[in-house]
Structure 1
Amino acid sequence: MVPNHRYSFFSGSILALIILVTVFSLGCALRPTVAGKWQDVKGPATVRFGADGVFHAVDNEGMAVSGTYRLKGNDEIQFEVNHDEARPEVIRARMVLEEDRMVLIFPGDDEVQTYRRLP
């Protein structure tokens, strides 16, 4: 029997595609997500990130704010904080995200906030 080179090329391409999709899926599955509730490690402040891009936060003094957030790349987050009768305030921060720990570094004053994921 004469081998069919077109068939072997096609089956090799399918196998390569399956391997590529599997590796990509595993890479995405291992990346932690920001969605969920987090608490400041130094106080009672909390922030809850929804999968829909909405956040709700309460600072250490009990003041609540909300708005939207957007992840920019692997290490930046942008908040749009809603204020009564005013345009949203845009705040950007560098973000280090691990499974149960999130560090936000705010430029300008280099303020660092560390949070732990709540169950």
Structure 2
Amino acid sequence: MVQDSLAIHHLHKRKRIHQKYEKYPHPNKFKRIMDKLIFFAGFLAIIMTIPQVLKIWVGQNASGVSIWSWSAYLFTTLIWLGYGIVHKDKAIIFAYSPFLILHPLIIIGTVLYG
């Protein structure tokens, strides 16, 4: 899942910030675009999760939905959100906050309709 690659990216980002290798906003146009694009990626991930919520709650059908996977996603979301809050990273907070609602909805729906 996308969360795995984000972990490595943000670890290296923290190293760069600590060592002060790059300015923010970056003078390089491409890097400035990438800094903005991360917000779009977070929004897109939220949008891509909504059909799963609708399938479960509107269709009352959770067949094929793994409660273990979504529980793991919720667990990693809590870690990511904590990381974002501790480091005051708006992109991470923006991307992971809605999942605190969406993931439990999927988990509860899977228990009820699975």
TM norm structure 2 = 0.27
Structure richer in helix, relative to its length: 2
Asked which structure has the greater CA Rg, the reply is 1
TM norm structure 1 = 0.27
Structure richer in strand, relative to its length: 1
